[in-house]
Amino acid sequence: MVNDEGQLYTIEGVAAALIMLLTAYLIVGATSMYTPGDAHISDMQLEVLGSDALTMMDIPPNGTVTASPLQQIIENDSYGGGQFRVMFMNYTNVSGYGPKHDIQFSANYTYRVPADATLMSVNINSSRYLTGGEHAIRVTKWVIVNKKLPPDTGVLGRRAVLVEVLLWRD
């Protein structure tokens, strides 16, 4: 007649089912939330801003003038540095409705010395002296200039230089 022999299977079955269901619920709830933070966002935003600023400086103001402001800055060492600083700071520190930044920079241009195939760097300008503790990112721009690059003593001709700017937030 009625005995309790089969009930062991039922209880065990129910217990096993509960364990599995509970574990599955915990796991589904646990894995979907954990996404690590993105620490490089501010670097990316700064790099985009610096790249944009250099690109804007390399656009001639209208169709008849062929030299862009950046080209003129490099071709003219005497006033170029000051003009670079004014233009670049205007571009990077402009603000719309968003946050205001305090961005510092250090700019130079690098060119090749044909005689011994080395590279030389000329400082354009900087807003602060680099101490080494800044978390800086680098943006670059290629410019073709009509300039005699020392120690070259040959004919004036076109050369390509790489403008490099280190940017950091104060």
Partner 1 sequence: MSDETGNLSIDFLVGFTIFLIAFIWVASMISGIMVGLQSSHIDYDAVAYRTGVILAEDPGWPASPPWEFYGDGQKYEISRFGFATSKDSPGILSQDKLNRFFCSSFIYPDDYQSRAIFGDFPYQFNISVIDVETRKGQSVGGILPDGYGYIRRLVKIKGSSNASIGLAYIIAHKYNNTAIPSDLNVTHHEFSILINNTKLQTQMRNPTYQIDPSREQIMINITDLRSTIVPGYNSPSISNYSKLVNISLTSINVYKWDGGALSMVRTFNTPYIDGNSSVTAPPCIVSDNISLVINPRVFDIMQAGYSQVYFNLTFDLKTGIPPKSVNSSFLNNTFSKPFDYNYDPANVTQPRLRDAVVEVAVW
Partner 2 sequence: MARLNDDAQWIILMGFLVSFSLFFLALIINQSTVVGQTTAESVIEFPKNDIRDISQVIKEHAGNNGTINDPVYQDIIALSIQRKGAVVNYTLNTVYTRGPLTTDMRNYSLIHYNNGVTTYNENWTSY
Q: Are 50 and 42 in contact (CB under 8 A)?
A: no
Confirm or reject binding of residue 114 to partner 2 (CB under 8 A): yes
Amino acid identity, position 127 = S
Subset of residues 43 to 62 that bind partner 1, contact rule: CB under 8 A? 44-45, 48-49, 52-53, 55-56, 59, 61-62
Q: Which two tokens stand for residue 104?
A: 């510092």
Residues near 91 by Cβ (< 8 Å), separated by ≥ 6?
52, 53, 56, 57
Site string for partner 2, 13-52 (x = CB under 8 A): x-xxx-xx--xx--x--xx--xxx-xxxx-xx--x---x-
End-to-end, the C-alpha distance of the chain in Å comes to 87
Give me the residues paired with residue 140 across strands.
164
φ, ψ dihedrals at 47, nearest 5°: -65, -40
Three-class secondary structure of residue 32 per DSSP: coil
Candidates 155, 156, 137; CA nearest to 146 is 156
Confirm or reject binding of residue 150 to partner 2 (CB under 8 A): no
Among positions 17, 94, 120, 130, the unique one binding partner 1 when judged by CB under 8 A: 94
Confirm or reject binding of residue 133 to partner 1 (CB under 8 A): no
Q: Are 106 and 128 in contact (CB under 8 A)?
A: yes
Name which of partner 2, partner 1, none residue 132 binds, using a CB cut-off of 5 to 8 Å depending on partner kind.
none
> If you count them, how many residues does the chain have?
170
Confirm or reject binding of residue 28 to partner 1 (CB under 8 A): no
Piece of the chain touching partner 2 by CB under 8 A; list 72-80, 81-89, 97-105, 112-120 = 112-120
Name which of partner 2, partner 1, none residue 110 binds, using a CB cut-off of 5 to 8 Å depending on partner kind.
partner 2
Q: Which residues bind partner 1 (CB under 8 A)?
A: 8, 11-12, 15, 18-19, 22-23, 26-27, 29-30, 32-38, 41, 44-45, 48-49, 52-53, 55-56, 59, 61-63, 91, 94-99
